Structure 1
Amino acid sequence: ERIQFSTYEDATDLYLIINNTEYTPKAVPTSDYLYEINYTQGITQEQTTLLISYSYPKNEANQEFSKDFIYDTETFTLKFDQEQLTKSEQINKGSTITVQFPEKQDTAQSLNLYTTILIALLFVLLIVTTVYGFKKRKNVKKRNRETESTELLTTEKALLMSLLKEIEKKHRNHKISDETYEKLKTNYKQQTVDIMSNLED
């Protein structure tokens, strides 16, 4: 069984594996970039696994890769700089696959981009550090104010509690109306709750 396949100019690292056995293909003298091997064991679709691999350098003139398939092919994979560009499966005989190579990124542009990102990150870090320091100083001042106001809040709470008891006493003795009692009770009770909440914080 004669197996032939074509490559591009300057193709290197050619090898062919059939059923886990590697073979070295030979160039066909009558055709450029055509290679073949003679496989004596016969090829059947159910029993034969065929892998063809080769490398070829990309230059400025070659911006795309095109491959014509002269056999029904189960899987085709194209890699560029160790990264997979495309993978196709169940390719019919007579099909053609064309793949565009990615443009090579300019090193200076990449360096400028990385420098810009680094400066941006440093700027963000500076803002975060400044805000953190401001909040830290603010929290210290807040804790000082809280310490100074604890005594005031405790005193206000005690006075409001006494006031609520006095209002309750006057209401029981019918010295204030029910309406006045409810309004005063609601008002001073809410103030007491607010003070207790501040003390807990």
Structure 2
Amino acid sequence: MRKLLIVLIIGMITTQCLIAVASEENVNTITQKITITAKDNYLSVIEELTVQGDSNESLDEITVWIQNGADNIEILINSNPPDSISHNDSEYICNISSLGIIKEDSNQIYISYELAKNAIFSKKIVRPTNSISVKFEDDEILTGTNLAVGTIINLELYESTEAPLNWFIAILTILLLILIVVLALYLLKNRRTVKTKESVSDSEELLNTKKTLLMSLLKDIEKQHRANQISDDTYHKLKERYKQEAVEAMKKLEDMK
């Protein structure tokens, strides 16, 4: 009786596998796009597949491979849930007989699930695949073409402790940059202040020198005029010009006080 029961179970499993293989015969994965996003405590995985065959036969079952440890699994075929799902280890066999799917049509499979934050991402190819790509945090980390059935992909993304460390380094770098900018602005401001003071000091000294020279020139031309060494016309012109410049210099000096 036990032997008969074992034979029946083996026969049922074998029949189911043969039906699944027959149903998916001559069906290829045209494209398989996998997007992995890091959340606070887990990895979110979304797979988008386009599958297509070369006959007008109906497609009653479709198999997808999802690694062990996945949670919150959702599978949609052309935006519809399968009639039922049975799985053996990581292979999920979806019964889609009521969806009226034809092999030669371009059919879309959507799969979403969650993995542990420190999980190694794995993928096994269950049908001939023309193109596959894997993105992690918007960076394309793997591409492949013409993958055979049975090909296994393993991708180590990062350890669970790596993300907080990266954040710490990023924050530390930003703080360091802010400190450098503040220090540079402070030094630049002090330098400008010193230059301004030096400029003011130089201008005041220059004006005092100019005033002294002009006053000396006024006295000198007056002596020359008294000694009849220059004409009245020249004397008055020079006196007026030097006197005006001296007044302007004294006015500027007064404004600086």
What TM-score do the two structures reach when normalised by structure 2? 0.45
Q: Supply the distance in 1 between the matched residues of 2:153 and 2:165 (Cα, whole angstroms).
A: 33
In the TM superposition, residue 74 of structure 1 has moved relative to its aligned partner by: 4.8
Q: 5+ unaligned residues in a row in structure 2: which ranges?
A: 1-58, 218-257
Contact 2:121 2:157 in 1 (8 A): yes
Partner in structure 1 of residue 66 of structure 2: 7
**2:196 maps to 1:139:** yes
123 and 38 in structure 1: CA distance in 2 versus 1, 3 angstrom threshold: closer
In the TM superposition, residue 59 of structure 1 has moved relative to its aligned partner by: 5.5
Partner in structure 1 of residue 183 of structure 2: 126
**2:98 maps to 1:42:** no
SS at match of 2:63: strand
Q: Supply the distance in 2 between the matched residues of 1:55 and 1:8 (Cα, whole angstroms).
A: 10
Identity of paired residues, percent?
16
Which of structure 1's runs of 4+ aligned residues deviate more than 6 A? none
Q: Which has the higher contact order (CA 8 A, sep 6+)?
A: 2
Q: Supply the distance in 1 between the matched residues of 2:147 and 2:166 (Cα, whole angstroms).
A: 42
117 and 9 in structure 1: CA distance in 2 versus 1, 3 angstrom threshold: same
Contact 2:76 2:111 in 1 (8 A): yes
Contact 1:13 1:54 in 2 (8 A): yes
Q: Supply the distance in 1 between the matched residues of 2:166 and 2:81 (Cα, whole angstroms).
A: 44
Q: Supply the distance in 1 between the matched residues of 2:188 and 2:81 (Cα, whole angstroms).
A: 67
| Aligned alpha-carbon RMSD (Å) | 3.7
Partner in structure 1 of residue 109 of structure 2: 51
What TM-score do the two structures reach when normalised by structure 1? 0.55
Partner in structure 1 of residue 248 of structure 2: none
Contact 2:132 2:144 in 1 (8 A): yes
SS at match of 1:66: strand
In the TM superposition, residue 99 of structure 1 has moved relative to its aligned partner by: 1.2
1:88 alignment partner, one of 143, 157, 169 = 143
Aligned residue pairs, count: 149
Amino acid at match of 1:69: I
Richer in strand (by share)? 2
Partner in structure 2 of residue 148 of structure 1: 205
Q: Give the greater-gyration-radius structure (CA).
A: 2
**2:127 maps to 1:68:** no
Partner in structure 2 of residue 27 of structure 1: 85
Contact 2:134 2:140 in 1 (8 A): yes
In the TM superposition, residue 145 of structure 1 has moved relative to its aligned partner by: 0.5
Contact 1:75 1:90 in 2 (8 A): yes
Contact 2:82 2:96 in 1 (8 A): no
Contact 2:75 2:110 in 1 (8 A): yes
Q: 5+ unaligned residues in a row in structure 1: which ranges?
A: 160-201
Q: Supply the distance in 2 between the matched residues of 1:141 and 1:14 (Cα, whole angstroms).
A: 75
